[in-house]
Structure 1
Amino acid sequence: MTDALDENELGAYFALVAAGDLIQRAVTTQLGEHGLSPLQFSVLARLLDAPAGLRMSELADVLVVSRSGLTYQITQLEKSGLVERASSPGDDRGVVATLTATGRDRVLGAFPGHVALVRENFLDFLQPGEADAIRVALERVVESLRGA
Structure 2
Amino acid sequence: MVDQQISRDELSAYFALRAAGDRLQRAVATQLREHGLTEAQFTVLAQLQDAGELRMSDLAQVLVASKNGLTYQATQLENRGLVSRRTSEEDARAVIIRLEPAGAELLAKVLPGHIALVREAFLDRVSASELAAISRGLAKVAAN
Please give the range of the TM-score, normalised by the shorter of the 2 chains: over 0.9
Runs of 4+ in structure 1 deviating by more than 3 angstroms, as ranges, are none
TM-score, normalising length from structure 1? Answer: 0.94
User: C-alpha separation between the residues in 2 aligned to 1:37 and 1:129?
Assistant: 31
Residue 124 of structure 2 corresponds to which residue in structure 1?
Answer: 124
User: C-alpha separation between the residues in 2 aligned to 1:132 and 1:36?
Assistant: 30
Residue 49 of structure 2 corresponds to which residue in structure 1?
Answer: 48
Between the two proteins, the alignment pairs up a number of residues equal to: 143
User: C-alpha separation between the residues in 1 aligned to 2:72 and 2:106?
Assistant: 19
Residue 27 of structure 1 corresponds to which residue in structure 2?
Answer: 28
Matched residue of 1:138: which SS? helix
Residue 75 of structure 1 deviates from its aligned partner by: 0.3
Residue 136 of structure 1 corresponds to which residue in structure 2?
Answer: 136
User: C-alpha separation between the residues in 1 aligned to 2:22 and 2:71?
Assistant: 25
Matched residue of 1:92: which SS? coil
What does 1:77-96 correspond to in 2, within 5 Å?
77-96=77-96
- What RMSD, in angstroms, separates the aligned Cα atoms of the two structures? 0.9
Residue 9 of structure 2 corresponds to which residue in structure 1?
Answer: 8
1:76-101 CA deviation, whole Å, 9 max, x = no partner? 00000000001112100100100000
Matched residue of 2:81: which SS? coil
| Percent of residue pairs bearing the same amino acid type | 52
Q: Is residue 99 from structure 1 mapped to residue 99 from structure 2 by the alignment?
A: yes
Structure 1: gaps spanning 5 or more residues: none
TM-score, normalising length from structure 2? Answer: 0.96
Structure 2: gaps spanning 5 or more residues: none
1:27-82 CA deviation, whole Å, 9 max, x = no partner? 0000111111111000000000112x100011011001111000000000000000
Residue 60 of structure 2 corresponds to which residue in structure 1?
Answer: 60
1:1-37 CA deviation, whole Å, 9 max, x = no partner? 5231100000000110111011000000001111111
1:122-147 CA deviation, whole Å, 9 max, x = no partner? 01110231111111111111112xxx
User: C-alpha separation between the residues in 2 aligned to 1:89 and 1:72?
Assistant: 23
Letter in 1 for 2:130: E
Residue 107 of structure 1 deviates from its aligned partner by: 1.1
